[in-house]
Each structure stands twice: as structure tokens, then as C-alpha cells.
Structure 1
Amino acid sequence: MLDTELDRLGPGATIGGSVAFLLHDTHGFPLELTREIALERGHDVDEDGFATEMAEQRRRAKDARKGGGGGGVEVFAAISAEQGSTLFLGDDSYAVDATVLAVTEDSIVLNQTPFYAESGGQVGDIGVITSPTGRARIVETVYGAPGVVRHRFEVLEGDIEVGQSVNAVIDGERRDAIKRNHTATHLLHWALRETLGDHVKQQGSLVGPDRLRFDFSHYDALSDDEIIAIEDLVAGDILENSPARHYETTKDEAEASGAIAFFGDKYGDVVKVLEAGPHSTELCGGTHVKALGDIGPVKIISEASIGSNIRRIEAVSGTGPIERLREDERRIKAAADAMGVATDELVDAVERRVAEVKELRTRIRDLERQAAAGRSGELADLAIDGIVIERVDGLDRDGVRDLAVAIRDRAGIKAVVLGTAPEGGGVTIVAAVAADSGLNASELIADAAKKVKGGGGKSADLAVAGGKDPEALDEALDLVRAAVRS
């Protein structure tokens, strides 16, 4: 959950107090650990908001009564001690009749459930619980205490009370999509090791209904050929439609059979093993398809580095690749229409257009050089004691550099400092000095570069510096004028 929140936040954004509290209350994540991970990723934590949530939770716990509307971790811990773990029936059933053990302000606990609680990288189920007196939409399923499934709910109608018999139904279409992605994750792990080597180890994962994310140890970016090889291996196993066996055994027997343990998972003496076809055997307590053909196509949609020697791939399965293919087809057709060609002629048309643009840019640069040579005389006439310091907007970085060189090369010019602020943003300051001037181009614009919140320009005879603050360009040039006249 923390990874999901950090990916969602923009650079430097603050993790909300409610999120930090949910990690603490639901997943047992200490605030200190949340703070440490957040700081490593460049984020702060709203600790005041966390404290407010904690105070409210203590108030609810104090007011809680069995069957009442308050409660928190104390209620779930009591159920764990008295009733043991919630019986999970969701591998085989999407709808289950159950008994309500507790109802808190935002959660329902049942004696048995088809709802999978978020764990092992797989997101929790959503769905509906119906009683004789009310209905609740389940918006998240997590663990409230070890083994105790917490169904976080929104009221649809009426009330659900402790002791009632209820019907619990998950969103089956969503679960099926999650199952496809989860089993596909195991096949991708095998295919990555097969293609890249046994050094590949899982470093984290997230399995949702719309996509999967898999982090693994590897020292380099995947090439296009490697991605194709991985996808082909996965497709081969899926096309064979081998069974996906999901069964319980002892941890020792699982390890003896060569089953691979997934990163971050904790295992007891009895474990669940997934045999996903003939090649992949791994410990996993998640939900999975019955046969590999149920997964459908699998497509890797992104690959990137997330740390030192750690890569991340994202992939889609089932209808996901088909939807992306249709979207790509729409984009290709739109591009072809814009170019005025058929789709099978698009690549050639783009290559021709790129060549035309390249030629036009060359012509523009030639014209800019000619214009710079023409303007050089006008600006040279503005020299004071052989030094020209002027602002010349309308030129890009290369254009202003060429103009500075053209002015410097005219008779009687010792040094030239030009500044420009192109419409696209940013600042460029160029200094060009004559060989016999005794001046240093880099030193001439050092303070000016700092003034526009930039830097660069280390060459002694021709220095080019960039900056971020166009509003400060005039003041920056004034600094140069003051320096050469002092």
C-alpha cells in the first residue's frame, strides 16, 4: 500500500496522516518506518494528521462495545484470540453465507468469507454483504489482526448486526482479472530467470485487476529482444494451457520440491504452492487461474530502474493487451490521417518528414548565422572600451553563441557578453573573449549565471551558461557591466 501511495504522489508531496495511520492500524506499519521509507523517496509524512487519527482511534476504542459502532485493532485482536482466523473460502466460491462476528465503525468481521484480504502483493477484493436488515458495499479487504479479515464498508441501506447470517459476494469479474494477472506474474518471474539468468530474484510486486507490477534484481535495462523473448516464453506456456495447481503442503516439502519463495512473504509450517504449468513452482497464498490458457495474452507495457540493480516491469493480461492494441491502432490511424497516407505507408512518410525537417533546420541555422553576421556590426558599434554587453532576445542557444563569436571576431573587440531568454523558457548567457584581451570568459559570467539560477560556462575563451530565471536576466547583465568597469 505504501508503494502504491508513493507512486501516486507527485515529487516532494506529503503522505497524508490518514494514510500513515491506515498503514499503522491495518498493516502494523510503525510510523517511524513509514517516515524512513518516505524520506528515502523524497516525501514527508503528515505526523500531526497521524496523531489526530490516533487520538480518534483511541476514542473509538474506548467507546467500542461488542456489536457496536466503534472499535479498532482491539476488536480484531479479541476476535483473533477468541475465534481464531477467518476461514477463507474464496478459492472456490465467490458467494458465501456467513455469520457476523463484529461490526465496527467502518468494518465487518465474518466467521468465513470469499473476500481475499490484501497480502503478498495482491490487492483485496471488493463486493457486497447483505443481511436481513441491510446491505453494505465492501470497498477494501485487509487484515485487521493476524488471520482476521476486515471488510471495510460503506452502507448501502439499513444496518448489519452482530450475529446475523449474511450473504457475502465478491466482484467476480474483478477477481478473475486479478487471478489472471497474479498467475501471469509467476510466469513472468520464471521467464525473466530463464532469459536473464538465475541472479533474477523478486524484490516486490503489486497485482491488481488492471495490471501487474513486478520488481526484480538485474543490473541492466532490458533490451527489446529480451522483452520479446520473455513474452514469447510466457505465451508458449499459456498456449499449451497446462493446469495451474494450487495446493497446501508443508514448508519443508515445498522447499524440497524446489518451490521458490516470494520476496517479503511470511510463511508458516503449512504453505500454499502454485505450480503454474511445467516450469513455474513457487510459494504463494494468492488466488490464481485453474489453467494457464485462462490468462490470455500477456504484454509487458513498461520497464524501468527503481534503484541500484533493481528493475521494474509492468504488464497486462487477458483483455488488457487487446485494449492496448486497439488504442495503438487508433493512434496509428490518427497519425496516418494527419500525414495524409495509409497506415502501411506511415513509417516511410514519417521518415521523409523527419528528413525534411532536418533539412529545414539546417537552412534555418544557416540563415541565423547570416543574420548574426549582419547584426554583429550593429552590436559591435555599441562597444564601450572594446566590450559589448547586451540582451538579444529572439535567438536560441546556438544562435546567441554564433552571434557572440561573430562580434568578438570584429576588429577592436576585446570581449562580448550576450544574454537571451527564449520564449520556451530558461536563460542563456554567452561570453566570448579575444585571445589577447587578458580576460576570462568563464569568470566574466560566473556571477551572472548564479543570478539567473544557473551555471556552466567553464571555458576561458568561449563560455555558455544556462539559467532558470528569465526575470533576472537584465540584473545579471548589469552585474557583468559593473564588474568590467570596476
Structure 2
Amino acid sequence: MTGDEIREAFLRYFERNGHTRVPSSPLVPGDDPTLLFTNAGMVQFKGVFLGEERRAYTRATTCQKCVRAGGKHNDLENVGRTARHHTFFEMLGNFSFGDYFKADAIAFAWELLTRDFGLPRERLTATVFTDDDDAFALWKKVAAFPDERILRLGEADNFWAMGDTGPCGPSSEIHFHQGDHLPCPEAAAGRRCLGPACDCDRWLEIWNLVFMQFNRDAAGALSPLPKPSIDTGMGLERIAAVLEGTQSNFDTDLLRPLIDGVARLVGKPYGGGAADDVSMRVIADHARATAFLIADGVTPSNEWRGYVLRRIMRRAMRHGRMLGLGEPFLWRVVEWVGQVMARAYPELRGEMARVQGAVRAEEERFAETLDVGIAKIREYAEAHAAEGAHVVDGKFLFTLYDTHGFPTDLAQEAFADLGFAVTDDTLGEFEAEMERQRERARAGAAFGGEAAAGEASLELWRGLPETEFLGYDALTAPARILAIVVAGRRQPEVVAGQAAEIILDRTPCYAESGGQQGDTGTIIGREGQARVLDTLKRGTGLFVHRVAVTRGGLREGEEVAVAVESPRRLGLALHHTGTHLLHAALRRILGTHATQAGSLVAPDRLRFDFSHGQQVKDRELTQVEDLVNEKVRDNLVVSPFWTELDAALKLGALAMFGEKYGPRVRVVRIGDFSTELCGGTHLEQTGQIGLFKIVDEGAVASGVRRIEAVTGAAALQHVGQEEAALREAAEALKIAPLEVPKRLQKLLDEQRALERQLQTLEARLARSRAEELVAAARQINDVAVVAARLDGLDADGLRAVVDTVRDRLGSGVVCVGSVADGKIGLVLAVTKDLTRRYHAGRLIQEVAKAVGGGGGGRPELAQAGGKDPAKLDQALTLLYDLVAKS
């Protein structure tokens, strides 16, 4: 069976057994800020397991895209070196939400493996948690296993949890015997192989059945879940290796085509050498992770998810260089990923132009990083070689990595080529700097606090019903207070002067989501009143009102009146409808690759991030703005409606990356111009926008651009400010406003002409002074030495003089210093024939010390600065002594 056939057979088997096929959720968890990437099939069902979310089904089956390359589940460094580890993989799973439990889960698994997949019964065995007598008995009954074929293992092996907190429970693993011909450390020592408990490849875990019974809170305490449930996971790549008869996941039809493609690129056979094989496997695996992460909205950057993606990409690029691929290549491999995965993920093919553009841009950026890093390493080596210090400083290694993004392992190789060693002490110092950096990041990261607060809030709100949202049709509503939290603790009452978080049974206040900020407003009770400062979502259906009580008090269970601040809501609606128009216009003008990568909808502005590999031209921005305003003038009807997810997608509705959608979705259609899945609040007609104005466009990350815009009164105010600035400029130039661009261009042309004249005069002056300095050169140890002071020259002027003197000398050492605006500048040059005797960088360091400064550079050219102008003449004279001593 092929990978595609196995995937489909699994899903169809469970559909036949009453399960609903649920699409894979995105790799970016839409409602779990504690998780880096989706790393298991159960992630999209976490709220269901916790009893916080209800679905229309109680049985589900999925093939989930997963990435493990950061945090607790981090397989990155093992990828390519083993037969099983991956950054990206697919997890086949079946789930029960309080429907069936252990008996059916074990029976389903056994039937699928032995009947549908045809695996020999005698080559299968099972493990169970030490105390799980029920699972042990069920395996004896269902599979007719003797006691010795069922292993009881401890918590480390057979108790599963997705993280430090959340759903968990005992598990049972199914293992497949790959053969006694494979090496085993126990057998090699003359002992019996320990079976599934052994650290060898003879037994392969293929399926993990988790009996989800508990929830673990932040304190580590276990509490029963509302209903015992089932979560299973079987790696598609692993079962494909078994069914295709290979010893390695990389030899399956899911990965081998990519490896063969890389082999063709480099002109080397796969299997021709261990090191090359590792590199080919790394590239194949990382190309899959790269393609799917970018398609799901992650872009390479230096922060969080983007940083992990960048690490994955650069590791693949580094292995490409190790194979001899000097030119960008990964962008080709990701296209092959789209071809291999086309049947299961047709949307990947649709995103391929954007994915390839982002990969190509990152490859070019990495090439620049390598060039800069190699130059820095050479400078370091040149500066330290003569001192006999051939051990690399860990702080320099960290600076290379942190400031310039240069991979540490590549730095080790480059230093080794220059005769320098990266020792354990070097790496220890590097790690110390890394830890200090992590501490700084932890101290300043708002994310961590928000995530922790979110988790704590979920514990406080557990058991409360979902909030009924009334805000599409009303801005005021009666409601009842279900819970009050003050300073992190549930309280029966909140009084004037206190801040609190309040949960209501129903509310007209929109909770922040989909980029739209939450509503503000008021809550009025019998004896108290509070200002709603913000409205947030917690879990999957709770609306949390952050309030400040302004008079009296509010009590749990009290009936209250809730009102939304209507002018602010109107501003949000203006900018949200404007966002949809902008998105549609960008896709019309730039192409359908320009999909949403993030947004902010505020009452006074909007910010829209979208996929696009280059700066948007001014002409294109004008076209986008004009098209949006055309649709505003057309006064199109904005029509929100609810429908099934499949029906909405067939209508062409655009879905936002990272969002998790239920079976029924809200669609917002604007005439025949825009159709998107959206839960936000909108205008009734586009004419209410009045005016749409783009105020800025720029880059956010590789392959992602950002537009900021304003609508309505905010747009008119912006235009008024621009007109006022234009009038002010016109008055200063004493011309009409419309003549400002032409006059400004004339002034710029005149400035450039004057700058060219100045450069010409400076060059003449440099030549004139150079002749004088050459004539005054001193001969020391048969070396012509020039040390001179020419005040008033900046760094460029100093270099011009030094370059000219050096060229005139032909052979010699020259240093020129200057005081300009109270600052000392020094430039020193050594002609090429003397660089074995004199190093410009080290000479200038000594000269600079004499004026309280420092500097450095290459053997041929260096520059420095200083703090004490009174000692400049003395410092320059020092050069003669330095040359005489060398």
C-alpha cells in the first residue's frame, strides 16, 4: 500500500465504524497560546476533552499535520540521523468524546491492523500501564495474547500527556516485530532482548491508544475528566514503512521521492555515503516542515514560531552546502513536497507560489548571512593569530550567532579551517551567554504571562456554560452574572474601586478574536455599575468582561443590564468591513497569493498583514486604494449568514490561517466582491465607510507585507493632515501647493550636484595633502612611515587621504588622525607587501589607546576613534616606535 492508500484506508475504516472524518487543523494552534505548533492529533479536540466545547459528533477520525521542533517535543537534532525522527509528520487518529472507551478502542485497532492492513498477528504485541488491569485483560480477550506478550510499563512509557498541564491518562502501545536480524545491545551482550522495552530497532511502536481519564492542573493534581474519552495516534510514516516493507520511514513513498530529487540535484546517489545520506534525509524532512508551516501562515523570523521555522530552513540549507549545493535549492524541493502531498492536501499546491517565494527569499538572506559571518571569522582569526590565541572566545561565538545569525556548527568548521579550535570551554561560555539571553527573553516576554494567565483563568471558569453572544443584532441586553474573579480568585462580589473579570450568561459585547478588538461598554446592576474596559475570549466559548467598578457593587447571580459603547463599535465595524474590501482588492491587484497572514481591527485604524514576496509598488497601492473606494461608492450590501463549512468553502469563502472552524460557520459576503468566513461585526453597506485611505506599507517578515489604513472620519482627518503639511511646505517655498513636488525635485538635483562638487574638491585636497605627507615620510627599518594630523576630516575624508598616500608610497605604513566636532578619527593602512610584518588592526589599537579609544580592522586597513584630542599628536608619534619595534 502507498502512503496515500494507507491514509485513506484508515479514515474510511473509522467512518464505517461511526466516526466523523474531521479535517486536519492548522499547524498553528488557533486557540491555544501555550503551544508552539500542533504536535498531536488531539490538539484540536483539547476543549472537547476538557468539557469546554461541544461538537455535533462523539466519534471522530483525522489525519493531522504535526510539527515537533521546539519546546518539550523537539526532534530537530535527531532528524536525518535516525530512521524515525521527523520535524513534520502526519498523525492518524481516532477519538471518542465520552462515547466508547478501552474495549472498543482496542478492538478497533486490532481489527484494522490484522484484517484491513493484513499484519501478521504473531508479529504484534502490546504494552499497558503498570496498574491498568482492564487494558491487560482486554488484550488477552481481543488478541488472545498470552501474558508474556503484554508488557506492563511505568509512567514514563505508558502514561501520556500533551504537556505539563491538560488532558492525560494511561496508554497502551502496539508494537510490530521487525525481525531478530536487527542489532540489539542486549543480545550482543549475550542477554535476551527486552522486546518493546528494549532500546533497539527489533520492535517498532506503531500505534498509541490513550485512555483519556484525567486532567492535570498547574499544580500537578489529577482530576477526572467529565467523560472518559479515547485519543489514539499512529504515525503515517511509521505504518507506511511497515506496510511497504522498509526499515526506514525515509524509504517510503512519502519521503523517498524527495530524497531522490535531492540526489539528482547534487549528482550523488542516495546510499553512497553515511554523511551525504544524513544530509539528504534532513533536506527531505525539513522541506516538508517548511512547506506546510509557510502554507499555514508561519514566516521565517527571529521570534517564536518564525524563529523555529528559520532554524529548520537554515539547517536544511546548511546540509545543502555540505552536499555541495552553493546556489538556492530548497525552493525547488518544497515544490516536490506539493507534488507528493497533492492528493491529501490540494490546498498546498494552491499556496506553492507563495511558499516558494518565501523560501527563495530566506535562502538569499542566509547566503548574505554566511558571507558576513565568514568575513567576521576571518577578521577575528587575523586579529588573534599573532597573539598565539587559537582557542575561540565563547562570547564572540555567541555574538556571531545572536547578532549575525551565523550557525554555530558552521562557525566551528570555518574556524577549524583557519587553525582555531572551538573547545568545551568555548561552548560552555557560549551556552552561558545563551542562557542569559533566554533569561532576558523570559523576563520581557508578555506572551508567557498571557499564556499563564489564560491557563489560570480556564481553571477558574471551568464548568461554566458558553456565553450566548447577542451583539450581531443588539447593542444592549439583560444578562445574569455567572462568575466574578478579583485578583485571580473567584469572589461572590466586586465593589467600587476594584477591577474584576466577569462572566455573563449572555452579552452584546464582542470578544476580541479574528483580529477585531473587544468591545467596551457598561454593566449596570441594582446597586452598582461597572465600566467594561475590554472583552476577551477564554477557552472556546466564554466571554470575559474586564471591568472597573465605578459605584456600588455587583454580585454573582445578579441580573444586570449590559450596553456596548456604540461609537466605538461603529469604528470597529467601519475598519472591519474596510479590511475585507482591502483583502479582496489586494488579491485582485497583486494576485491570489496575497492571502491574509494576520490583522488588527481597531476603532480608529486597521492593520493587515498579507503574503507577498516584495514591496508593493506605489502604483499598485494606488490601484488597491482606488478599487476599495470604488466599492465604497458602489454602496455594496454586506450580507452575513450562517452555513455549513463545506458549503461556505464551495462558495469560495476565504478562511483565515490559524483559525479553527466548527461545522457551521458565519460567512460575510460583500456584494460579489468579497466572501470570507468571519465572526466579526460589520456595517450594513459599504457606503457607510465614506473614505478609505492607506497610510503605510512595509515588511513584517520574509514574504509578508503590512498595510495600515484608516476609514471614515479617521481617513478624512488623515487627508486633512496631509493637506496641512503640503500647505506648510508650499508656504516655506513660497509657491503654490501643487508646485511642491517639482520644486522639491529641483532642490534635490541641486543638492546632488553640490555634493558631487564637494567630493571633487575633497579628492583634490586629499591629493594635495597626500603629496605633502609622502614627501615628509620617515624611513624606519627600511619602511616608509607617515603619521599626520589633518583636523576637520570625517571618516570618508580620512580614508581618501590614507588611500592616496598609501598608493603614492607604494610600500609603507600610513596613519592619519583628525579632530572633527570634538571627536577623534583615525585611519591606518599597511601596503600589501608589509602585512606579514605589520597588521593594521593591531597597530591602530595601540595608537587609539593613547587617546582613550579603541578600534580594529584587517591587516591592510583599520580605523579607530578616541576621546582625548589633546593627546592625538603624541598618539600619532607612537606609530614610529611601533614600527621600529616590530
Please report how far the alpha carbon of residue 88 of structure 1 lies from its aligned counterpart in structure 2 after TM superposition.
0.9
Q: Larger C-alpha radius of gyration, 1 or 2?
A: 2
Structure-1 residue corresponding to 2:786: 388
Aligned: 1:438 with 2:833 = yes
Structure-2 residue corresponding to 1:90: 471
The total of aligned residue pairs comes to: 437
1:38, 1:44 within 8 Å by CA — same for their partners in 2? no
* Secondary structure in structure 2 of the residue aligned to 1:46: helix
Please report how far the alpha carbon of residue 125 of structure 1 lies from its aligned counterpart in structure 2 after TM superposition.
1.0
Judge which range, 368-377 or 143-152, deviates more: 368-377
Residue among 432, 453, 460 paired with 1:75: 460
Structure-2 residue corresponding to 1:398: 796
Between the aligned partners of 1:232 and 1:144, the Cα distance in structure 2 is 39
Between the aligned partners of 1:321 and 1:55, the Cα distance in structure 2 is 38
- Given residue 596 of structure 2, which amino acid in structure 1 is its aligned partner? Q
Structure-2 residue corresponding to 1:9: none
Please report how far the alpha carbon of residue 432 of structure 1 lies from its aligned counterpart in structure 2 after TM superposition.
6.9
Aligned: 1:197 with 2:197 = no
- Given residue 178 of structure 1, which amino acid in structure 2 is its aligned partner? L
Distance 1:432 1:335, change over 3 A: farther
Residue among 23, 29, 32 paired with 2:33: 29
* Secondary structure in structure 1 of the residue aligned to 2:778: coil
* Secondary structure in structure 2 of the residue aligned to 1:315: strand
Residue among 722, 725, 731 paired with 1:328: 722
Structure-2 residue corresponding to 1:122: 516
Please report how far the alpha carbon of residue 155 of structure 1 lies from its aligned counterpart in structure 2 after TM superposition.
2.0
Please report how far the alpha carbon of residue 147 of structure 1 lies from its aligned counterpart in structure 2 after TM superposition.
0.7
Between the aligned partners of 2:658 and 2:593, the Cα distance in structure 1 is 17
Structure-1 residue corresponding to 2:667: 273
Distance 1:147 1:357, change over 3 A: same
Please report how far the alpha carbon of residue 448 of structure 1 lies from its aligned counterpart in structure 2 after TM superposition.
5.8
Please report how far the alpha carbon of residue 253 of structure 1 lies from its aligned counterpart in structure 2 after TM superposition.
1.8
Structure-2 residue corresponding to 1:46: 443
Between the aligned partners of 1:391 and 1:32, the Cα distance in structure 2 is 58
Aligned: 1:168 with 2:562 = yes
Q: Deviations over 1:159-206 (max 9, x none)?
A: 111122222122211111111111111112111111122222222222
Distance 1:190 1:344, change over 3 A: closer
Between the aligned partners of 2:450 and 2:594, the Cα distance in structure 1 is 41
1:444, 1:480 within 8 Å by CA — same for their partners in 2? no
- Given residue 814 of structure 2, which amino acid in structure 1 is its aligned partner? V
Structure-2 residue corresponding to 1:20: none
Structure-1 residue corresponding to 2:360: none
- Give the 5 Å matches for 1:231-310: 231-310=625-704
- Given residue 481 of structure 2, which amino acid in structure 1 is its aligned partner? V
Aligned: 1:484 with 2:751 = no
Between the aligned partners of 1:288 and 1:215, the Cα distance in structure 2 is 20
* Secondary structure in structure 2 of the residue aligned to 1:104: strand
2:470, 2:508 within 8 Å by CA — same for their partners in 1? yes
- Given residue 104 of structure 1, which amino acid in structure 2 is its aligned partner? V
Judge which range, 154-163 or 379-388, deviates more: 379-388
1:134, 1:158 within 8 Å by CA — same for their partners in 2? yes
Q: Deviations over 1:202-226 (max 9, x none)?
A: 2222211222122222222111111
Distance 1:50 1:426, change over 3 A: farther
Aligned: 1:226 with 2:588 = no
Aligned: 1:429 with 2:827 = yes
Distance 1:409 1:202, change over 3 A: closer
2:534, 2:547 within 8 Å by CA — same for their partners in 1? yes
Distance 1:96 1:412, change over 3 A: closer
1:77, 1:145 within 8 Å by CA — same for their partners in 2? no
2:514, 2:679 within 8 Å by CA — same for their partners in 1? yes
Distance 1:279 1:349, change over 3 A: closer
Please report how far the alpha carbon of residue 274 of structure 1 lies from its aligned counterpart in structure 2 after TM superposition.
0.3
Between the aligned partners of 1:289 and 1:54, the Cα distance in structure 2 is 33
Q: Deviations over 1:66-115 (max 9, x none)?
A: xxxxxx43332221xxxx21111111222222111111112011111111
Distance 1:297 1:425, change over 3 A: farther
Please report how far the alpha carbon of residue 256 of structure 1 lies from its aligned counterpart in structure 2 after TM superposition.
2.2
2:643, 2:667 within 8 Å by CA — same for their partners in 1? yes
Structure-1 residue corresponding to 2:356: none
Please report how far the alpha carbon of residue 382 of structure 1 lies from its aligned counterpart in structure 2 after TM superposition.
5.2
Please report how far the alpha carbon of residue 478 of structure 1 lies from its aligned counterpart in structure 2 after TM superposition.
8.4
Please report how far the alpha carbon of residue 284 of structure 1 lies from its aligned counterpart in structure 2 after TM superposition.
0.6
Residue among 140, 145, 168 paired with 2:539: 145
Between the aligned partners of 1:427 and 1:28, the Cα distance in structure 2 is 54
Structure-2 residue corresponding to 1:14: none
Gaps of 5+ in 1: 1-26, 62-71
Please report how far the alpha carbon of residue 480 of structure 1 lies from its aligned counterpart in structure 2 after TM superposition.
6.1
Between the aligned partners of 1:121 and 1:442, the Cα distance in structure 2 is 64
Distance 1:482 1:283, change over 3 A: farther
Judge which range, 180-189 or 296-305, deviates more: 296-305
Distance 1:476 1:445, change over 3 A: farther
Distance 1:353 1:128, change over 3 A: same
Between the aligned partners of 2:837 and 2:461, the Cα distance in structure 1 is 68
Between the aligned partners of 1:146 and 1:122, the Cα distance in structure 2 is 16
* Secondary structure in structure 2 of the residue aligned to 1:438: helix
Residue among 842, 847, 850 paired with 1:447: 842
Aligned: 1:104 with 2:485 = yes
Aligned: 1:133 with 2:530 = no
1:405, 1:432 within 8 Å by CA — same for their partners in 2? no
Please report how far the alpha carbon of residue 149 of structure 1 lies from its aligned counterpart in structure 2 after TM superposition.
0.5
Distance 1:265 1:397, change over 3 A: same
Structure-2 residue corresponding to 1:346: 740
Judge which range, 420-429 or 253-262, deviates more: 420-429
Between the aligned partners of 2:682 and 2:556, the Cα distance in structure 1 is 32
Distance 1:348 1:200, change over 3 A: closer
Structure-2 residue corresponding to 1:7: none
Please report how far the alpha carbon of residue 308 of structure 1 lies from its aligned counterpart in structure 2 after TM superposition.
2.5
Distance 1:187 1:39, change over 3 A: closer
Structure-1 residue corresponding to 2:369: none
Please report how far the alpha carbon of residue 455 of structure 1 lies from its aligned counterpart in structure 2 after TM superposition.
6.8
1:126, 1:138 within 8 Å by CA — same for their partners in 2? yes
Instruction: Using structure 2 for the length normalisation, give the TM-score.
Output: 0.44
* Secondary structure in structure 2 of the residue aligned to 1:260: coil
Q: Deviations over 1:27-86 (max 9, x none)?
A: 64228789971893997122899999999999xx8xxxxxxxxxx43332221xxxx211
* Secondary structure in structure 1 of the residue aligned to 2:629: helix
Distance 1:144 1:414, change over 3 A: closer
1:98, 1:111 within 8 Å by CA — same for their partners in 2? yes
2:512, 2:536 within 8 Å by CA — same for their partners in 1? yes
Percent of aligned pairs with the same residue? Answer: 36
Please report how far the alpha carbon of residue 445 of structure 1 lies from its aligned counterpart in structure 2 after TM superposition.
2.5
Distance 1:208 1:47, change over 3 A: closer
1:449, 1:476 within 8 Å by CA — same for their partners in 2? no
Between the aligned partners of 2:804 and 2:685, the Cα distance in structure 1 is 73
* Secondary structure in structure 2 of the residue aligned to 1:319: helix
- Given residue 480 of structure 2, which amino acid in structure 1 is its aligned partner? T
Q: Deviations over 1:340-374 (max 9, x none)?
A: 33323322332332233334334433443444345
- Given residue 45 of structure 1, which amino acid in structure 2 is its aligned partner? R
Please report how far the alpha carbon of residue 418 of structure 1 lies from its aligned counterpart in structure 2 after TM superposition.
2.3
